[in-house]
Structure formats: structure tokens, C-alpha cells
Amino acid sequence: MVDFSLWDILRNLLMAARWTVTLSLIAFIGGGIVGLLLLVLRLSGVRGSGRAVGAYVQLFQGTPLLMQLFLAYFGIALFGIKTSPWTAAAVALTLYTSAYLAEIWRGCVAAIPRGQWEAAQSLALSFYEQLRHVVLPQALRIAVPPTVGFLVQVIKGTALASVIGFVELTKAGSMISNATYQPFLVYACVALLYFALCFPVSLVAQSLERKLHGNRH
């Protein structure tokens, strides 16, 4: 039997943590792009678009992320496309993130006074010009803190990808704990690594929030 030192455990967990970071970034960036498209669609006033995007958001916010992962994993395979835990996790987390970001950003756009839209309209700007030059730049300012805060949610969400067999930090933790028979130590290390990833992001989000509110009052 091979003995595992604390360093062996930590080193292997750190290697796996790279995949947690990669998956988080893919979901966050992909989700940001899809979320922005959803936001524009919702604001465009196309008939039924508001309802459709609302239903999409409700669907992802009202069901467990774990079920979404399973559905992506088995659903993509159903169409005869060979799927890996990696693609299923990336797809599910991207869609999940997009729903939340679309909703967060909708709130930020709603916080922009109507007069801004009307003023832009009276300058004969088209809908996309109003959005691009007047509304979104202002909405962006208030959108940054909650968006950064949501990144923590995404990082924690990637832990569920372990359940469909994607080897990231949590899955690596299970495997190492099965090999070393030291679940207490291993899961404590896993938790601390997540904390090391998430806590700085939380702090940044908090300080951004405070800065924003400091400006306003």
C-alpha cells in the first residue's frame, strides 16, 4: 500500500482545481454571452419575447442544477451526439449561468430611469443605439458588483459536475478520499481550496458594492 503525504493530497487536489477554474470561466463567459443575448431579446419588445425569456429564467431558477446537469448529460446523448461529462457540464452550467445573469442584468437595466430611454429616443437613436450608447453603459456600472458576486455561485455550482463524472476538485476529492481512507482530511482540504477560490471573489464583490453605494449617498 502506498502512503499519501499531505503534500501528495494537496498537490493532486490543486491539479484538479485547475478544472474547476476552467469550467467556471467557460460557464461564466459563455453564460455572460447567452445572458446578454437574452437580455437584449427581452428588452427588444418582440412579441412574446418577454414571456419566453421569463419562462427560461423561471425554468433554470426553479429546478436543481443537479437535474439540469443530468438532463444535459442524457439529453444530448438522446440526439445521437456522443457526449462527455465535460461537454454536458459546460452546456448545463452555461445555460444555468445565462438565466441568472439575464435576470440580474434585467434588474440593473430596470434601475435606469425611463427618462434616459426617452431622451435617447428623442435624439432619433435606434433601439440598439439607445441600448449601446445610453442604457447599457449606465446599467453596467450597477451590474458589476452582483455579477462578480454571482461568479462565486458559478464556482460552487461546478462542484455538481462531479456527480456526472467530470473530474474537478470535488470529484478528485472523492477519488483521493477513497484511495487514502482519510475522508476527514481530504474533504477539509477540498473545502479550504473552494474557500480560497471563492472568498477573494466575495470580498471583491462586497467592496465593489460598498464603493457603488458610497458614490450614490
Partner 1 sequence: MLVALDFSAVFSAWPLLVRGVAWTIALTLAGTVLGLLLGTACAWARARNLGPRVPPLRWAVAAYVELVRNTPFIVQLFFLFFGLPALGLKLSPEAASVLAMVVNLGAYSAEIIRAGIEATPRGQIEAAQSLALTPGQVFRRVVLPPALLKVWPAMVSQIIIVMLGSAVCGQISTPELSYAANLISSNTFRAFEAFIVATLVYLALSLLARRLLMWAGARFLVGR
Residues that bind partner 1 (CB under 8 A): 58-59, 62-68, 70-71, 74-75, 78-80, 152, 156-157, 159-160, 162-163, 170, 173-174, 177, 182-184, 186-188, 190-191, 194-195, 198-199, 202
Least distance to partner 1 from the beta carbon of 32, Å? 21
Give the nearer residue to partner 1 in terms of CB position, either 62 or 113. 62
Residue 132 has phi, psi (to 5 degrees) of -75, -40
Least distance to partner 1 from the beta carbon of 68, Å? 7
Half-sphere exposure of 88 (CA within 13 A, CB side): 27
CA 94-24-14 angle, 5° bins: 150
Measured CA to CA, the distance from residue 56 to residue 48 in angstroms comes to 12
Least distance to partner 1 from the beta carbon of 59, Å? 7
Least distance to partner 1 from the beta carbon of 75, Å? 6
Give the nearer residue to partner 1 in terms of CB position, either 65 or 91. 65
80: left (phi over 0), alpha (psi -120 to 50) or beta: left
Give the nearer residue to partner 1 in terms of CB position, either 69 or 136. 69
Give the nearer residue to partner 1 in terms of CB position, either 143 or 152. 152
| Torsion 75-80-85-89 (CA) sign | negative
